[in-house]
Amino acid sequence: MRCEDLMTRNPEVLTIRATVRDAAVRMRDSRIGFFPVLDDSGQLVGVVTDRDLAVRVVADGRPLDTSVEVVMTGEIITCSPQESLQRVEELMRVNHKVRLPVMDEGGRLAGVISLADLDEYKESVAAGEVVSITSPEANP
């Protein structure tokens, strides 16, 4: 199985012009804690997380009209849609990330994959294996 099989396509994004208040409101309303941040040409330039807001806005006493560009994480670890799930999991583990932007061959944002996506997949596979072992149809 590959990243493209589990990733969220067309994820919600922020532009560098968005404020930290915009980010916090959208996180609350969408019930998510992560946004890829795009520049004016649509290129990925960073990510902003709920942790970024807590550590770089609230803890530092920044005003709510601060641009997300100021507080976003600029070091971005990405993967491609064709990456194996094992490789994606390794990237997350090594880089201490729970979400990765997925970039297409043209260098554009294609989606986002999370550790929760990987965990959900693993659970469904494990449950499927248990069902097939205990199912009467599987053991005639």
Q: How confident is the model at residue 129 (pLDDT cuts 50, 70, 90)?
A: low
Mean pLDDT of 14-30: 97
Q: What pLDDT score was predicted for residue 138?
A: 44
Q: What pLDDT score was predicted for residue 18?
A: 97
- Residue 15's alpha-carbon distances to 12, 47, 123, in angstroms, are 10, 10, 35
Q: Provide φ and ψ at 36, rounded to 5°.
A: -70, 145
Q: What pLDDT score was predicted for residue 44?
A: 97
50-78 pLDDT tens trace: 999 999 999 999 999 999 999 999 999 99
Neighbours of 110 (CB within 10 A): 22
Question: 3-134, what's its fold?
Answer: CBS-domain (3.10.580)
Q: Is the pLDDT of residue 115 over 50?
A: yes
Q: How confident is the model at residue 37 (pLDDT cuts 50, 70, 90)?
A: very high
Q: Is the pLDDT of residue 8 over 60?
A: yes
Amino acid at 100: L
Q: Which residue is listed with tokens 């932007």?
A: 101
Strand order of the sheet with strand 44-49? 14-15, 34-38, 44-49
Q: Is the pLDDT of residue 80 over 70?
A: yes
Q: What average pLDDT is seen over the chain? A: 90
pTM of the model: 0.84
Strands 44-49 and 14-15: unpaired
